[in-house]
Amino acid sequence: MTILITGAAGFIGANFVLDWLAQCDEPVVNLDKLTYAGNLETLTSLDGDARHIFVHGDIGDSELVASLLAQHQPRAVLNFAAESHVDRSIHSPEDFIQTNIVGTFRLLESVRAYWNQLEAEAKAAFRFLHVSTDEVYGSLSATDPAFTETHRYEPNSPYSASKAASDHLVRAYHHTYGLPVLTTNCSNNYGPYHFPEKLIPLMIVNALAGKALPVYGDGMQVRDWLYVKDHCSAIRRVLEAGRLGEVYNVGGWNEKPNIEIVNTVCALLDEMRPQADGTSYRTQITTVKDRPGHDRRYAIDAGKIERELGWKPAETFASGIRKTVQWYLANAEWVANVQSGAYRDWVQTQYAKEDVLQ
């Protein structure tokens, strides 16, 4: 048996593959376009491991996806591939429409054609799992209850609108064609291999570099943080036991204002990598112009996945953020290669000669 994962050179997908292959021997075909966010250096521990088959390509390339499905006959397709950064979607939304909407549509079409011709048993066992976000539900006030799976869709950024569109397509392919889909809507992840454009890794790397720590607006926007390995275990559980056509919200029960996150990162760095002159990293915090249309608060009610599938996060925020800061301190080379862009050259030297890049 094999699974096909899209976007698994990115932050969550790569963590998922590393965890999956640490726990079982079922091979993974990893289809990734290697945008700026795709980093195969994250997966170097799998070099030479026949269980990981990397394919360089786009989920919207129907011919390529059809040939991969025919060749590897996966029992499941997990769609992590996306443009994922809200700020980038505000500056240039086009790529978000192409990958998150058109790409997901084409992937669904390729998967539908493959699934339709499977034998009855394989057809019944097949799953398409779509990885989505809590941002599709819009923004909460301070007193609103957390998002449940029945909360109406109110996306506010080009990113969340494009993810919302993809969720609707996935839903429609179940209702119209019977495609056996599962959707997860997760809150903010953090942990190892997070690209330093997102809040937590940006604060860690900027603090260590002596740069400003840019906090948008008043810093009181609330996010619900989940350690990435917990997101991965939730996806494994939904794949294993989720009810067809259902949506599962995934979150860490960890609502925190951004400024508290930044202060926590600074406090951990003060403890683990104190500055020579005794100054706190907090002195680098700077307030900057707010993100346009900035959602004030996200909060996930993860009660359904706990009740139905018995999933709960293993990490508290205190344990997860400590591990994360430790990871960044121990992996300065990974960070440096991301910052210099060397991770992209590395792909060529490592893979071109072996002809695994298509």
Q: C-beta of 177: minimal distance to ligand NAD in Å?
A: 22
Q: Of 72, 81, 70, give the one whose Cα is nearest residue 26.
A: 72
Handedness of CA 21, 23, 26, 28 (dihedral sign): negative
Q: d(Cα 265, Cα 279) in Å, to the nearest integer?
A: 15
* One of 20, 54, 80, 248 touching ligand NAD (CB under 6 A): 80
Q: C-beta of 210: minimal distance to ligand DAU in Å?
A: 16
Q: Of 20, 23, 5, give the one whose Cα is nearest residue 59.
A: 5
Q: d(Cα 322, Cα 315) in Å, to the nearest integer?
A: 10
Half-sphere exposure in the Cβ direction for 26 (13 Å, CA): 16
Nearer to ligand DAU, 110 or 183 (CB): 183
Alpha-helical runs (H) found in 187-257: 199-208, 228-241
Total of chain residues touching ligand NAD, rule CB under 6 A: 31
Q: C-beta of 175: minimal distance to ligand DAU in Å?
A: 24
58 binding partner (options ligand NAD, ligand DAU, none; Cβ < 5 to 8 Å by kind): ligand NAD
Identify the active-site residue in 32, 83, 134, 224.
134
With left for phi above 0 and alpha for psi between -120 and 50, is residue 194 left, alpha or beta?
beta
135 an active-site residue? yes
Restricted to residues 129-148, the positions that interact with ligand NAD (CB under 6 A) are: 131, 133
Q: d(Cα 100, Cα 157) in Å, to the nearest integer?
A: 13
| Straight-line distance from the first to the last Cα atom of the chain, in angstroms, rounded to the nearest whole number | 23
Nearer to ligand NAD, 60 or 138 (CB): 60
Nearer to ligand NAD, 33 or 174 (CB): 33
159 an active-site residue? yes
Residue 338 binds ligand NAD (CB under 6 A): no
Residue 12 binds ligand NAD (CB under 6 A): yes
Q: Which residues are catalytic?
A: 134-135, 159
Contact residues: ligand NAD, CB under 6 A: 6-7, 9-13, 31-35, 37-38, 58-60, 80-84, 99, 103, 131, 133, 163, 186, 188-189, 195
